[in-house]
Each structure stands twice: as C-alpha cells, then as structure tokens.
Chains A and B, each alone.
Chain A
Amino acid sequence: MDEPVKFYQTGTFTVGNRLLPKEQRTVQASRQRGNALNSGHRACQGCGEALGARYVVDAALRAAEGRLIAANATGCLEVFSTPYPETSWQLPWIHSLFGNAAAVGTGIAAALKVKGRRDVRVIAQGGDGGTTDIGFGCLSGMFERNDDVLYVCYDNQGYMNTGVQRSSATPPGARTATTMAVGPEPGAPFGQGKNLPLIAMAHAIPYVATATVADLHDLEAKVERAMALHGARYLHVLVPCPLGWGAASHDTVRLARLAKESGIFPVFEAEHGELTAVSKIRRRVPAAEYLRLQKRFAHLFGEPGHPEMLAAIQAGADRNVRRFGLED
C-alpha cells in the first residue's frame, strides 16, 4: 500500500485494487486518471451503463493516448450525460440519431483516414436498442466494411430511456412495459433473442468480446485488446439497470456477476470469427439466484409461479455452459 486509491472494489469475487500490485490496478484506481465521463451526470443511482461507459471510455482514451472521438446513439447514455449546455464528456463527442452511431463512427473514421490522422481513434457506442434493433443495419454495414471503429454496446436488455420497453436483447420471460406479466405466458416471449456477439463473430471482424461491469479488470483489458487492433471491433457489455430490472441500486455489480456465474451471460473473446478465450465460471449458481433479485422476473416465482419458464431459462444457461465451455 504505497499510495491511497480513489476507488476500490471489495467482495467475494473481486480482488480489491488495494490488494493488487500497482501495475495490475484498474485505470480507475489511479488518482491521476482521466475522467472521460465526468461525475455530475444524471444517471440513476446504481446505473450499470454509467459505470461501464466510464471504464470503457477511460480505458480507450488511455489506449489512444488521449486522441479519441466518440459517436453516441440516442439513449440513456446520451441523455443523462449531455443535457446542453452541460456535458460530461471530456473527449470530442457527437450524437446524431438513435440508429446510426456505427455509421457516424464510420464517417469519422473515413474523415480521419483521408486527413492522414491515423493517431486519432474512433469509438461508437449505444445501448441494446440502438445496437441490436434500430442500429443493427448500420452496425452490420460497419462490420462488413471492416471500418476502423470500436463499437461498444451497453446492454441493459431493454429500452430503459423511454420507460422500459422490450428490445430484441430483452431476455425471455422478462416483464417490460410492452411485454407485461399477464396471460398464460407472461413477460417477453420465449426464444433465444438476438445474440449480437455471435452475429458480430459471423462477420469475422478482428475482435468481438463480451464483458460485464462485475469484472472491471476484464472489461479494461478487453478495451485495451480492442484498441490494440484496427478494423471493426465489437464489445458487448452487460450493464444491469436498477430501474428497468426492478433491482436494488446496490445490486448492480452483484447482478452482473450472477449473470456470468449462472451461465446466462457467457463472457468470452473472439478474433476473426473464432472463439479465443472464455471467462470460466468460478462458482456455478442456479439461474433462479440471478432472477430472484429482479422484479422483472417476479412473476416466475411464488404461487402459482411459472416453474416451466424457470426451467427453460435454466436450460438456456446450461446450454451456454456447454456451448462455451464455461466450466472446467
């Protein structure tokens, strides 16, 4: 302990910064760190997206040696960080529309290329609605052309900014404002949803990774890996939303961890379409342990409850464990 740290983590599954050697600490542990997304923004208490975005952009900014431009889709991140004349962004930042962050990123990258600015890097970011739904075409185009943009999806599994409606990333069974917990099959229809990390891999782009805000070392390492590469790169970060998930603000990191430890959200890396690394589950937990903390799944429990839906969700988690080899 040779210097005081500004932020540190505690808990069962994380190793606090204060216990780590200096070189292994997160960017956030440094008192001299930049702050790409300044405090004072209007995110909800316990917002997973604010946490994820701060780590992602800080790490990307550091990797780019301060020369980074961000394109942002419409959504929570845009709204809570930039009500003019205030802005939390300490880097050049543009918001255009909901569905075009990837294409705006492409345009910025094209402009930088034509001007010979290979030193300036581009990041495009959006929530799951702007990424898996309305911005999907632009994102796929950016992948296909292999444009030199790192696209980051902050996945909170719904349209939280507009009042918690279903997106194509909303998990099966979840209650949202447009998939109410009523009728014989309450919540979002059962199915696998749109798995964007796998779709990104199918484009054979240089780098695809998933991460959660429960493991910020891992998240930063993936940003650094992505920034070391050129071409189209995709990072999918699970960011629990206390408001939309009906969870306690202090459970954000815990939920992200349980999503991974249950197998519901596999954490992995892929390069050029091939899986290269998987974050193993340290202590397997039943899916119900993750679901029970969230009011959006409350209808699955209690009397009469929906044991068949719980079983289907558990089966999906088991399938992920087998498919990605999440257990030793």
Chain B
Amino acid sequence: MLKQIEGSRAVAQAVALARPEVICAYPISPQTHIVEGLGELVKDGSLSPCEFVNVESEFAAMSVAIGASAAGARSYTATASQGLLFMAEAVYNASGLGLPIVMTVANRAIGAPINIWNDHSDSMSQRDCGWIQLFAETNQEAADLHLQAFKLGEELSMPVMVCMDGFILTHAVERVDLPTQAEVDAFLPPYEPRQVLDPAEPVSIGAMVGPEAFMEVRYIAHAKQTMALERIPQIAAEFQARFGRDSGGLVRGYRLDGAKTVVVALGSVLGTLKDAVDVLRDDGMAVGVLGIGSFRPFPLAAVRAALEGAERVVVLEKSFSVGLGGVVSTDVRLALSGLVLHGHTVVAGLGGRAITQASLERMLRDAVAGKLGPITFLDLDWRIVERQLAREAAVRRSGPIAENLLRDLGAAAPRGS
C-alpha cells in the first residue's frame, strides 16, 4: 500500500509486518519515532502477540533482546549514536551467541561534543562486531531491508543491523510502499532458533570456551558472513520477485558504463551524488556512482568487479578513522588491491554538516581533473581549525575546543565580553 509517511513510521510498520514477538525500547534521537510507532501498534493491539519492553538503557535493550531471542522469540530493537556504543558489549555478545536479533541504527554522530545529527560514526564503530550491516539509501529501502534482515539473520543465526541516516531518512516524509501482512507472511517464515532455552531439552548457552575452540568459533562467524554474501543478493532477488522492488543487495551501480571516475558511498547521500553525476555526465565527463548496500559482509568481489574499469575511485565517507582517514576506504582499497588506479578519500557530512550537490560537483570536477588529494575533508573550515591550533600552541589553558571554534565563527560572543 502506497503511503506518504515519515521514514521512522514506515520502518515501524515494516518491522510490525515481520511480527516481532519482543521489542525493546529505549529512547535516543533520532531513533525515537521508530519505537514510538511500534509502541503504539503493540498498545492498540494491532501488533499481537508482542511484548514491548521499556528498558532503562541501551545496554539493557540489547540484553533483553538477547534473552528473548535465546528463548525463541523474534526480537527487535533500535538505537543510534551513544546508545549503540553504550550497548556495544551486548552487541558483540548477540553475534557471538548467534542470535538473529534485528536492530535499526538511525545513524548519528558520536560525541563529544554532543551532536545529534547524522553521520555514520556509530555503526562504523561496530564494524567488527559480527553483525550484518545493511545500509538504506531511501525510506523505501529502509522498510524493505528490515523484512529481508529478519529472513537473512534467522536463516544464518546471526544478528542484522539496518542502518538508515538519522533525520535525513528517519524524519523525512516520503512515499513508501508497504506490503500486506499476507505478502510478508509468505516471504518470512516464523523464527526457528538454532538453539533455544527449553526445559524439555536443556542446553547451556554462552559458557566459557578456551583457546582450543575460540578461534574456530570466531571463524564460523566469518564463514556465516561469507554465506551472507551469497544470500543477500538472493534474498533481494526473491524480494524483488514478490514485491516488485529492487531493494538492497550488495552493491548497486549508477551510470558506471565507461565511467573513469567512480564515487563509492553508502546511505542517503547516494541520491545527491547521483544528481551531481548527472550534471557532470551532461558536461561530458565519464563519472559514475557505486552504492554499497552491505557494509558487513563487505562485498570485496562485487566492488572490485564494479570498479575494475575505472581509473579513479573516490570513497565518500560519513565517518572517520581518527589518525588514519576513511573507514570504508580501507575496505575499498583491499577490494582493489593489485589494480593500478588513483584512490581518494573524501570525508563529508560529519555531525550533520550538509553535503550539497554543489560541493559534490566541485569535488568530482577536481577528481576528474586529477586535482583531488588523497584525503579531503569536504567543506571543512580551515580558517577556524588553524586559529584553534595556533591558540592551543600559544596558550596552555586555551579552554574548550568547540566553544573556541564557535567564537571564531562569530556564533558566540568573544571571551571576556
């Protein structure tokens, strides 16, 4: 059914269609509207049977999901930013125990300074936790990916994160097509756990494992991700056959034919990038876009195949590995190892900094002209950065960084005034 609906509410309705049996809720912006939507559906009886557990922290949210999933209930929660970091210990635990919990991450920056706006720092911080990480480009994809996530995770007994850009997607009202319950029921079978806490057949789950088997256990987590690499496109194809939409998959190219310069990115920025590429193509430049739908497992072969013909690859990142550079760039470079081409990292949009089409066009023109450096911080205000660095070099007690920067911007009154 076509609806004009907020992204969060669309995700809530898609999750409800998957018939989760336990939902854990803890508020954090910009995730709140998702659990609010689900809370309403549970309270008014339209999602039943389902236990909606209001917990006291994100750590508890993931822990309740772990208990519920181990006891055989399809379990769901959503979080963002500091919340994801606060639950990190349990996030690793869920994947180690092989529990197919589905979690939405409404991507948001990580403080300090506290910042509620969108970038990908939160989910990227959990890169190695053993969860599948799918990225949505649009709200339609976000809704569709949740239905695929339950299927994928439960088949492989591993948890799945569906990442969607906070505010940009979660709070945007867009047209979303939501399937019927019957259609979803036909697509998604009930949860059948690999292991379950059942008095009829007692098992001990999560006990201590020594050096003799720990590496193998971890390897199996990797092997599962490799299996997911095969299943993700298959499930996306099955989804398309049933619902008529191409949603998800490992990677998706845009105007890659003959593209000599390709920008790689994840999430909602792909839309703006495509517009920028259209403009450059009109100007006769051979540019294209490669969207990555699955960050974990990382589709090395698919990325390599898509980029093999390019001369220049720009990885546009909304996260940042401090002290190194791009997070996704490292993976892309691995995919391209042995190929001789120019690689660039562009860090953009941190903490909600707008990524404008004009900036992207400028960056792309620089790339095509060979003028882009190895790492670029898109629209960074070098002036205030240099002033602050000079201030810190000169004065030991120079005060809070962010406050100084805002003063330099003229956003706050000068100190002592």
Q: With an 8 A cutoff between CB atoms, is B170 at the interface?
A: no
CB of B50, distance to nearest CB on chain A (Å): 6
Given contacts A83-B210, A107-B71, contact A92 B56 (CB under 8 A): no
Q: Which of B22, B66, B90, B204 makes the CB contact (< 8 A) with A89?
A: B204
Assess the B205–A94 pair: CB atoms within 8 A: yes
Say whether B243 faces chain A, with CB atoms less than 8 Å apart: no
| Complex Cα spacing A245 to B98, Å | 38
Verify A106–B64 contact, CB threshold 8 A. yes
**Which of the 9-residue segments A25-33, A49-57, A133-141, A233-241 touches chain B?**
A133-141
A-facing residues in B178-210 (Cβ within 8 Å): 196-199, 201-210
- Using CB atoms and an 8 Å cutoff, list the residues of chain B in contact with chain A: 21-22, 24, 49-51, 53-57, 59-60, 63-73, 75, 89-90, 93, 97, 196-199, 201-210, 213
Report whether A107 and B199 are in contact in the complex, using a CB–CB cutoff of 8 Å.
no
Distance (whole angstroms) from the CB of B57 to the closest CB of chain A = 6
Interface residues on A, range: 35 or more
A110 touches which of B22, B197, B207, B213 (Cβ 8 Å): B22
Question: Residues of A contacting B201 with CB < 8 Å?
Answer: 92
Chain A residues whose CB sits within 8 angstroms of the CB of B75 once the complex forms: 107, 111
Out of B55, B71, B72, B90, which one reaches A97, CB within 8 Å? B90
Given A96-B67, A105-B67, A107-B63, also A83-B202 (CB < 8 A)? no
Asked if residues B68 and A111 are in contact (CB atoms below 8 Å), the reply is yes
Mask: chain A, 75-90; 1 = CB below 8 Å from B; 0 = not: 0001100111001011
The 9 closest A-B pairs by CB, nearest first: A107-B67, A82-B207, A103-B63, A141-B56, A100-B63, A111-B71, A111-B73, A104-B67, A107-B68
Could you jot down 10 A-B contacts, CB within 8 Å? A71-B67, A84-B213, A87-B204, A93-B202, A96-B67, A111-B75, A112-B71, A113-B51, A115-B21, A140-B56
Interface residues of A (CB under 8 A from B): 66-69, 71, 78-79, 82-84, 87, 89-97, 99-100, 103-116, 120, 137-138, 140-141, 144-145
Note all chain A residues with C-beta closer than 8 A to B209.
Answer: 84
Bound Cα distance A327, B183 (Å): 69
Most buried by B among A69, A107, A108, A140: A107
Known: A84-B207, A91-B199. A110 touches B56 (CB 8 A): no
B208, A107: Cβ atoms under 8 Å? no
- Whole-angstrom distance from the CB of B362 to the nearest CB of chain A? 48
Asked if A145 and B54 sit within 8 Å, CB to CB, the answer is yes
A237 to B49, CA, bound (A): 37
What is the CA–CA distance of A68 and B71 in the complex, to the nearest angstrom?
Answer: 12
- Asked whether B71 lies within 8 Å of A87 as measured between CB atoms, the reply is no
Contact partner of A115 (CB less than 8 A), chosen from B53, B70, B72, B202, is B72
Give the complex CA separation of A100 and B205 in angstroms: 15
B197 near A94 with CB under 8 A, answer yes
Assuming A93-B204, A93-B205, A110-B53, is B199 touching A69 (CB within 8 A)?
A: yes
Chain B positions within 8 Å of A97 at CB level: 63, 89-90, 93
Residue of B49, B51, B60, B93 ringed by the most chain A CB atoms within 10 A: B60
